[in-house]
Amino acid sequence: MNLASILFDPVSDKHAKQKSKYTVDRMIPGAFEGETVTRRHFMTGTANVAGIVAAGAFVLPALGFAFGPVFKSTPHRWETVGTVDAFLEDNYLPVVITLTPGIGEAGKTTVYVRKRNPAIDTDPYDRSTRFIAVSDRCAHLGCPVRWVPAAERFICPCHGGVYDLLGRPVGGPPVRPLDRFYTRVVGEEVQVGPRYSVNSELRRFSPRDPGEPLDGVGQYLYPSRPTAQKP
């Protein structure tokens, strides 16, 4: 007896062998000998289907409500962080931007910004890379790294991740370079925009969470998500 027959036809086994005594024998109008769906079976099925529909009517919207944010993309924000002259070619300056407005300190993050230096920056030059904005979110598990100018390294306090000047991992557990932010110049102001992730060759990907490698099969094992798309 499978699940469907239990749900929709729970009495069929018991009554399959004997002739219907509820329909033909009782002269119920419309009944006929050999009918496969008796009134009893029909009513049982109807009651169960009605129960499933009623339960689905509140369970499905509730699930959709709870899982909805997984499919919703967040609008991109651009934030002015300083003037063009404020940033150096050989050292990062920390700036604080708001990722999520309305929740105070919890929605802010630190970004390390410097001017592009053709001598060291090998990633393709376009209008997004006139200034390099490196996220302080460690690519291991998301702790905030700090820039140590004397060592020219980003160092993570949690599990010992170390990154070089370009944000590529040179020690510890991180699986890919530090994320970056798109930058643009509006008039004399430098603006920092949405986040993107890079692989070890500094190729751009849509933002991934920390701990997700982007080299080899990594980009397929950790796919792009609807919540975090490239602009």
Q: Summarize as ranges the residues that interact with another protein (CB under 8 A).
A: 66-67, 69-70, 72-74, 99-100, 102-107, 141-144, 158, 207-212, 221-223, 225, 227-228
Nearer to another protein, 27 or 70 (CB): 70
Q: Count CB atoms within 10 A of the CB of residue 12.
A: 16
Cβ distance 42 to 149 under 8 Å?
no
Find residue 192's DSSP bridge partners: 79, 183
219: left (phi over 0), alpha (psi -120 to 50) or beta: alpha
Nearer to another protein, 167 or 174 (CB): 174
Instruction: Tell me the closest approach of the beta carbon of residue 139 to another protein, in angstroms.
Output: 10
Nearer to another protein, 23 or 169 (CB): 169
Instruction: Tell me the closest approach of the beta carbon of residue 63 to another protein, in angstroms.
Output: 11
Instruction: Tell me the closest approach of the beta carbon of residue 102 to another protein, in angstroms.
Output: 6
Nearer to another protein, 79 or 209 (CB): 209
Helix (H) or strand (E) holding 196: strand 189-198
Helix segments in the chain, DSSP class H: 3-8, 12-15, 39-67, 218-221
Instruction: Tell me the closest approach of the beta carbon of residue 133 to another protein, in angstroms.
Output: 16
